[in-house]
Amino acid sequence: MDLGVPVAMTLAVVVVGWFFLGMQWNVHKGQRLLRWMREGLPLLSERTTLQWVGTSLVRLGMREAKPPFREVEILLVFEPRDVPFLWLFSRWRGRRDLMILRARLRQPPAFEGEWGNPTMWTGQEILQRIIWREWEVMDLAGGRLAYHGPHAPRVITECLNDLARFCPYVARLSVRRNEPHHLQIHVGFPMDRQFPAREVFQQIRRIAERVVRSPGE
Residue 60 · residue 74 · CB < 8 Å? yes
> What's the pLDDT score for residue 175?
98
Res 154: pLDDT: 96
Domain boundaries, the chain: 4-212
Tell me how far apart the alpha carbons of residues 170 and 64 are, in angstroms, rounded to a whole number.
Answer: 27
Region of 187 please: left (phi>0), alpha (psi -120 to 50) or beta: beta
pLDDT at 18: 55
Query: Greatest CA span in the chain, whole angstroms?
Result: 81
Decide: 214 and 110 in contact? Cβ < 8 Å.
Answer: yes
User: Tens-of-pLDDT digits for all 217 residues of the chain?
Assistant: 456 666 556 565 555 665 667 678 888 999 999 999 999 999 999 999 999 998 889 999 999 999 999 999 999 999 888 777 777 788 887 889 999 999 999 999 999 999 999 999 999 999 999 999 999 999 999 999 999 999 999 999 999 999 999 999 999 999 999 989 999 999 999 988 899 999 999 999 999 999 998 665 5
Give the integer Cα–Cα distance in Å for 183 and 174.
Answer: 6
Q: 106 phi and psi, to 5 degrees?
A: -75, -20
What is the model's pLDDT at position 156? 97
Packed helices 4-37 and 84-92: angle between N→C axes, nearest 10 degrees: 60
Beta strands (DSSP E) in the chain are 49-53, 57-62, 69-77, 98-105, 112-116, 136-140, 143-148, 170-175, 183-187
Q: Which helix (H) or strand (E) covers residue 16, if one does?
A: helix 4-37
Please, are residues 214 and 150 in contact by the beta-carbon 8 Å criterion?
Answer: no
Q: Give the other-Cβ count within 10 Å of 31's Cβ.
A: 12
Alpha-carbon distance of 3 to 11, in angstroms, equals 12
Q: Does the pTM exceed 0.75?
A: yes
Q: Quick one: pLDDT at residue 81?
A: 80
DSSP 135-187: SEEEEETTEEEEEESTTHHHHHHHHHHHHHHHSS-EEEEEE-SSSS-SEEEEE
Give the pLDDT of residue 46. 94
**Residue 24 to residue 156: CA distance in whole angstroms:** 37
Question: What one-letter code names the amino acid at 203?
Answer: Q
